[in-house]
């Protein structure tokens, strides 16, 4: 047995004792997390009209999970939140918000979901309406929203290090921080990020709105004025500390006239603070292995049940139950989604041995086109002019191919969801479609693509995909497996946002 060596211990001095105590205390002191407030006009699952809500409903969760930041979200309290969500809200407090000569009630409600705190701004006059947007006073409604966000911060004792605003509805936040709130010390350290989800929607108003509604002094007109009117998106691009958009390719595209809807000069002038970060999707919610909306569940390793999803949807939609390729299309029926290409060659697509299912609403002209095509080709074409999450998921799971011929696409989420559900995308190479879908080659790939905005180029690729499905089922299955194996989770992009915030704080 080893002999124990006895050491004579000296009693610690008072100085050493204090030093030790201090070092223990400093180890115990946890540095408070930096605070991020994400502001947007919609957020899934509470309120949703489009992809913006998906992003606001999933990015903050991914960021929070990384542990570096305390991430919270703020959005208006519209009418019509599902009762099971509404029941989770608690009232926090109320105060008044000044908006030019108006003095307006503002209530704050709160809920916590997936580890993230969500605040809802309540003012029934502005937000308790049939829809979210499209009212004569949208400028005033979202000016109120922007001001309420800033006024809320000291009330909640949550002054963020970074205020992350999204699209024109929150564009006035960075503007107010440089104007009306510029001299208030409690707001002095807030940095701002402004994310453009679609540059087409800018929030343009007559000059008279500046003082009478926004309450911003005329001396700041230059900050917001563009091309003869007040342009909120311009104001945010100019005043935000960083500007981002939802894919690297779209970040380049919006420097160009073809994509920028008039704002190319402003974007180019501010290109030094612009970056493009590709969106992800919520891979927990969009998971064919567990999705309760599907007729049967399946996964990349066990794809057999996908055939059940297809057969059941065929029955449900009165389509013949047979093994022909099914093309899915779930979209807002707007011009930039490339619907004109389908209009051009719709008849030719119908000559192929396939089935085509559309789900979407939008411009009357496009709705009428699809409804007519469906009545002319029953048994081949189904047009559901509505929007329904449950049906969308059934279509993603049942279809073999997913068409997305967008003229421009800042990011696009449908192509990612389609991949996950094994509906192989056919996309035009633009914006986020270009960044997320690589054409099949010997080296890999996860979709079919075409470059030019041309109906026959699209038709050629559709025919190629349909042919592959029928003539080379083994290859098609490999392609489907490749699409399903694409990683569209938020991990990497959330890290890039985290880096962006860190560069500011
Ligand atoms: C907008 C864009 C779409 C993007 C979404 C989320 O809806 O049009 O491309 O995916 O925002 O960023």
Q: What is the mean pLDDT of the chain?
A: 94
- Does ligand 1 lie within 6 Å of residue 51's CB atom? yes
Per-residue pLDDT for 10 more than 60?
no
Percent of the chain at pLDDT > 90 equals 92
* Alpha helical stretches, state H, 296-388: 306-316, 339-350, 364-376
- Does ligand 1 lie within 6 Å of residue 427's CB atom? no
CA distance 400 to 157: 51
CA distance 168 to 230: 12
- Does ligand 1 lie within 6 Å of residue 224's CB atom? no
- What are the pLDDT digits (tens) for 363-377? 999 999 999 999 999
- The CA 98 to ligand 1 mean position distance, Å, reads 32
Segments of 31-134 assigned E as strands: 34-39, 69-76, 90-99, 102-113, 116-122
Q: What is the pLDDT of residue 325?
A: 98
- Does ligand 1 lie within 6 Å of residue 209's CB atom? no
Report the predicted TM-score, pTM, of the whole model to 2 decimal places.
Answer: 0.91
Of residues 183 and 277, the one with the higher pLDDT is 277
- The CA 196 to ligand 1 mean position distance, Å, reads 9
Q: What is the pLDDT of residue 7?
A: 44
Per-residue pLDDT for 24 more than 70?
no
Taking residues 278-303, what's their average pLDDT?
A: 97
Per-residue pLDDT for 183 more than 70?
yes
Q: In what order do the strands lie in the sheet with 225-226?
A: 204-205, 229-231, 225-226
- What are the pLDDT digits (tens) for 123-136? 999 999 999 999 99
- The CA 53 to ligand 1 mean position distance, Å, reads 9
Protein residue whose Cα sits closest to atom 12 of ligand 1: 197
Q: What is the pLDDT of residue 484?
A: 98
- What are the pLDDT digits (tens) for 89-108? 999 999 999 999 999 999 99
Q: What is the pLDDT of residue 31?
A: 78
Percent of the chain at pLDDT > 70 equals 94
User: What three-state secondary structure class fits 64?
Assistant: helix
- Does ligand 1 lie within 6 Å of residue 280's CB atom? no
Q: Residue 87: CB partners within 8 Å, gap ≥ 6? A: none
Give the total residue count for the chain.
505
- The CA 411 to ligand 1 mean position distance, Å, reads 5
CA 351 to the chain's CA centroid: 36
Q: What is the pLDDT of residue 199?
A: 97
50 CA closest ligand 1 atom index: 7
Q: What is the pLDDT of residue 203?
A: 97
- What are the pLDDT digits (tens) for 224-258? 999 999 999 999 999 999 999 999 999 999 999 99
Q: What is the pLDDT of residue 32?
A: 87
Q: Quickly state the pLDDT bin for 16 (edges 50, 70, 90).
A: low
409 CA closest ligand 1 atom index: 9
Three-state SS annotation for 204-269: EECCCHHHHHHCCCHHHHHHHEECCEEEHHHHHHHHCCEEEECCHHHHHHCCCHHHHCCCHHHHHH
CA distance 238 to 196: 13
Taking residues 151-164, what's their average pLDDT?
A: 97
250 CA closest ligand 1 atom index: 9
Per-residue pLDDT for 6 more than 90?
no
Nearest to 255 by CA among 241, 246, 266, 240: 266
Q: What is the pLDDT of residue 3?
A: 41
Q: What is the pLDDT of residue 387?
A: 84
CA distance 334 to 34: 40
- Does ligand 1 lie within 6 Å of residue 417's CB atom? no
Per-residue pLDDT for 20 more than 80?
no
Q: What is the pLDDT of residue 22?
A: 61
336 CA closest ligand 1 atom index: 8
Per-residue pLDDT for 8 more than 80?
no
246 CA closest ligand 1 atom index: 12
Contact between 270 and 237 (Cβ < 8 Å): yes
Q: Quickly state the pLDDT bin for 13 (edges 50, 70, 90).
A: low
Taking residues 437-453, what's their average pLDDT?
A: 97
């Amino acid at each position: 047995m080893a002999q124990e060596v006895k050491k004579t211990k000296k009693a610690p001095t008072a100085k050493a004792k204090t030093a030790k105590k201090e070092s223990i205390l400093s180890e115990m002191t946890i540095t408070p997390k930096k605070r991020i407030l994400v502001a947007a006009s919609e957020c899934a699952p509470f309120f949703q009209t489009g992809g913006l809500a998906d992003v606001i409903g999933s990015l903050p969760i991914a960021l929070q999970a990384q542990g570096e930041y305390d991430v919270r979200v703020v959005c208006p309290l519209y009418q019509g939140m599902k009762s099971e969500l509404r029941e989770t809200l608690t009232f926090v407090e109320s105060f008044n918000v000044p908006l030019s000569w108006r003095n307006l009630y503002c209530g704050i409600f709160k809920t916590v979901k997936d580890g993230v705190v969500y605040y809802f701004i309540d003012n029934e006059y502005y937000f308790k309406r049939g829809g979210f947007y499209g009212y004569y006073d949208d400028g005033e409604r979202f000016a109120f929203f922007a001001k309420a966000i800033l006024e809320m911060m000291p009330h909640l004792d949550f002054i963020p290090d970074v205020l992350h605003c999204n699209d024109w509805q929150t564009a006035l936040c960075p503007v107010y921080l440089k104007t009306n709130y510029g001299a208030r010390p409690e707001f002095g350290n807030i940095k701002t990020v402004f994310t453009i989800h679609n540059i087409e929607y800018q929030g343009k108003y007559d000059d008279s709105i500046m003082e009478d509604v926004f309450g911003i002094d005329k001396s700041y007109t230059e900050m917001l004025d563009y091309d003869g009117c007040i342009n909120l998106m311009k104001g945010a691009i100019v005043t935000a500390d960083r500007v981002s958009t939802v894919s690297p390719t779209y970040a380049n595209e919006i420097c160009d006239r073809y994509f920028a809807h008039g704002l190319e000069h402003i974007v180019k002038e501010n290109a030094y603070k612009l970056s493009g970060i590709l969106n992800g999707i919520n891979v927990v919610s969009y998971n064919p292995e567990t999705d309760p909306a599907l007729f049967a569940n399946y996964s990349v390793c066990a794809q057999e049940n996908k055939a059940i999803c297809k057969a059941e949807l065929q029955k449900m939609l009165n389509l013949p139950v047979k093994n022909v390729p099914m093309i899915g299309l779930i979209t807002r029926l707007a011009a930039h989604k490339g619907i004109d290409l389908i209009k051009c060659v719709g008849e030719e697509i119908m000559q192929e041995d396939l089935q085509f299912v559309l789900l979407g609403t939008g411009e009357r002209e496009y709705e009428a086109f699809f409804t007519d095509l469906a009545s002319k080709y029953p048994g081949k074409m189904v047009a559901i002019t509505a929007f329904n999450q449950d049906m969308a998921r059934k279509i993603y799971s049942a279809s073999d191919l997913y068409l997305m011929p967008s003229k421009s696409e800042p990011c696009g989420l449908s192509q990612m969801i389609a991949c996950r559900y094994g509906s192989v995308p056919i996309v035009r190479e633009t914006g986020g479609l270009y960044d997320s879908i690589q054409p099949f080659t010997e080296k890999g790939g996860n979709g079919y693509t075409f470059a030019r905005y041309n109906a026959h180029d699209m038709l050629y690729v559709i025919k190629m995909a349909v042919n592959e499905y029928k003539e080379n089922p083994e290859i098609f299955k490999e392609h489907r497996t490749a699409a399903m194996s694409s990683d569209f989770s938020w991990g990497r992009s959330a890290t890039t946002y985290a880096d962006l915030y860190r560069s500011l704080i």
